[in-house]
Structure 1
Amino acid sequence: MQKSVRLKSFELIAQDIKSVDVSLLHALSTGVGWPHRLKDWEFLRRAGRGIVAVDGIGRVFGSAMWFPHGDDFATIGLVITSPRTQSEGNGRWLMQQVFEQCGDRNLALNSTDAAYKLYLALGFTKEATVYQYQGEVPPALPALPALNGELSALSIDKIEEITALDTCAFGTNRARLLALLAEGAAICVLRRGGGIVGYSMCREFGRGHVVGPIVASNDHDAMHLAAVHLEDLAGQFARVDTREKGPFANFLQQSRLAISETVTTMSKGRPFLNRKANEPAVFGLAGHALS
């Protein structure tokens, strides 16, 4: 695979994303209006792998990351090209580097509108729309349906208790990612009938906090698992990414979280989304890159 590419008057070289100063990555995402903080980039580099496109004096013109879950699946994210190179083939070249590193893995990503045609051309198939809800959480949340079960906090040393549930909902074991997320998250579980039937996490990200992942078997459970965190964020900025359109989405809107953006879930290889009726599902994403 070509490890360098010439774009107009300068040449870019592929370099491991962990080898560059994180402030350069922060500047790259800020330049395209993405909310990632330095801490967010540091976490993502711990969680995944990737490359950056740099010129001869070390300036970063693009990035692309992938997050392996086992040996046969990965999510792709943080595919960013600087405004100067967005129409010159830099994004396609970055994706080619990612494909080489991922090998034969099945892949999934969440595409912005700007990148959608590129991913179609690279063999990705549309599966669903992700709605990004965000805003300042009000002092009081809307009324909730009756709680079926018991909500309680989960400590990080017991994170393995939600692995099987998450694997059923997500479709692939992502225990390593859950453990990393848990390091800086508040975790809530819903217990019913002697077992855990849902969970949610809340952590700092971007402009405030992100509530996700949220895994539940129905909208009512998901609403309670989101509300337990939103209640603690009154007056603060919060974000929830979801593919839902029903009661759970209505609850977010009634909580004064408005849709600020949509992205498109796409897959290459086997289909990514595997939702089944009355079984655990992902109501809230861990993040666009992590899915």
Structure 2
Amino acid sequence: MEFAETLDIGGYELSIEPMTPADIPRLHELSVAVSWPHRADDWAMVIGLGHGWVARDQIGRIFGSAMWFPFSRTVASIGMVITSPRMQDQGAGRWLMRRVLDETQGRARVLNATKEAFRLYVSLGFKTLAPVAQRNGIVTACPDFGTGARPMRDADRTRILELDTNAMGVARPEVMWAILGVSEGMVIEREGRITGFALMRHFGRGRVIGPIVAESEQDAIALCGPFVAAHQGDFLRVDTREPEGTPFTDFLSAAGIVPYDAVQRMSLEPLPEPTGPARTFGLINQALG
């Protein structure tokens, strides 16, 4: 597919260039402009894990970004697609997405669409899968969460990767090793075998719990409970596909981690099916799934 390396929008001539760590200050400004919570450190992590492009004007300002993350040779997650408010609805987002779609041909593509970008993705052929709720807030209480979880040990990490692969339907070892390196973890062990885990790390305004992989809602609650108990008065976030009114989401609401926003999970091609029996109760984040 022929691709234009420059784009003229309302008198701004934009060039598309590879994203690098040197762009982090301007990328942080871009995400702040659209009220995304990502810190400079959060940008540094995703740049280290994926491939990205920026739309830059002639004096170096960044007006848009788009990234993709290779989960495997057959699956890619697309994320961090942002255009500055003055460029929204002007074609910059579609231009960046075309570059990403060109680069990821041959893989099944998945993303989480904001309300602002949903129509763009539909026009590119993406199909809806399931909504994802962004839940966050200051922890005001710690509901009962039972027992059964213990702190993660180094020896648990290989099994955690296996559980994540089974719950996702695709292996993403580079992503998971990076997340494990900056996270606290809780696991559930039964008869000497790890059956579920939850990780928590610094992100945005506070901390995010994710991924969360468990065989049942009660296990998911038991995994998150120690984090909630340890961070009363702090800001916590969970991104989940679990609907309102379930024991897991009721637990989060009772703790003060309440619905804030929602995105729509979408894919361009069929995705591999999870093999379970554990499933994903909480995402790493919206870009990485």
| TM-score, normalised by the number of residues in structure 2 | 0.95
Equivalence for 2:190? 192
**Are residues 1:32 and 2:29 paired?**
no
Q: Evaluate the alpha carbon distance shift between residue 159 and residue 81 of structure 1 in structure 2; reply closer, same or farther with a 3 A threshold.
A: same
User: Paired residue for 1:282, among 272, 280, 283?
Assistant: 280
Question: Percent of counterpart pairs with the same letter?
Answer: 39
The answer (yes or no) to whether the contact 2:21–2:44 under 8 Å persists in 1 is no
Match of 1:265 in 2: 265
Structure-to-structure mapping, 1:47-58, within 5 angstroms = 47-58=49-60
Q: Which residue of 2 aligns with 1:80?
A: 82
Give, in whole Å, the separation in 1 of the partners of 2:155 and 2:26.
34
Query: What is the aligned counterpart of 1:226 among 224, 227, 237?
Result: 224
Which residue pairs with 1:166 in the alignment? 164
Deviations 1:10-61 (A, max 9, x none): 2111111116431000000000111111111111111111100001111100
> How big is the shift at 1:133?
0.9
Q: 1:60 aligns with which of 62, 83, 94?
A: 62
Residue 250 (structure 2) pairs with residue 250 (structure 1): yes
Q: CA-atom RMSD, angstroms?
A: 1.5
Go from structure 1 to structure 2 and tell me whether the alpha carbon gap of 1:155 and 1:15 turns closer, same or farther (over 3 Å shift). farther
The alignment partner of 2:253 has SS state of helix
Runs of 5+ in structure 1 lacking a partner? Answer: none
Letter in 2 for 1:198: G
2:175 to 177, 184, 190: 177
Report the secondary structure of 1:21's partner residue.
helix
1:158 CA displacement: 4.6
Q: After TM superposition, list the pairs within 5 Å mapping 1:129-168 onto structure 2.
A: 129-138=131-140, 140-144=141-145, 146-147=146-147, 150-156=148-154, 158-168=156-166
Residues 91-121 of structure 1 show CA distances to partners (whole Å, capped at 9, x for unaligned) of 1001001011112110111101111111001
In the TM superposition, what is the alpha-carbon distance from 1:153 to its structure 2 partner?
2.0
After superposing on structure 2, the runs of 4+ consecutive aligned residues of structure 1 that deviate more than 4 Å are: none
d(CA) in 2 for partners of 1:116 and 1:239? 23
Partner of 2:206 in structure 1?
A: 208
Q: Contact (CA 8 Å) 1:160, 1:175: kept in 2 or not?
A: no
Secondary structure of the structure 2 residue equivalent to 1:238: strand
Measure how far apart 1:166 and its partner are.
0.8
Task: Report SS of the residue matched to 1:52.
Answer: strand
Q: Name the TM-score, length of structure 1 as normaliser.
A: 0.94
Give the Cα separation in 1 of the matches to 2:223 and 2:87. Answer: 42
Aligned with 1:184: secondary structure? Answer: coil
Secondary structure of 1:271's partner? coil
Identify unmatched segments of 5+ residues in structure 2.
Answer: none
Q: 1:156 to 1:7 in 2, by over 3 A?
A: farther
After superposition, the C-alpha distances for 1:168-225 in whole angstroms (9 at most, x for unaligned) are: 0011001111110111110111101221100010000000000000001110000111
Equivalent residues of 1:72, 1:106 under 8 A apart: yes
Q: Are the counterparts in 1 of residues 126 and 266 from structure 2 also a CA contact under 8 Å?
A: yes
State the Cα distance separating 1:157 from its structure 2 match. 6.4
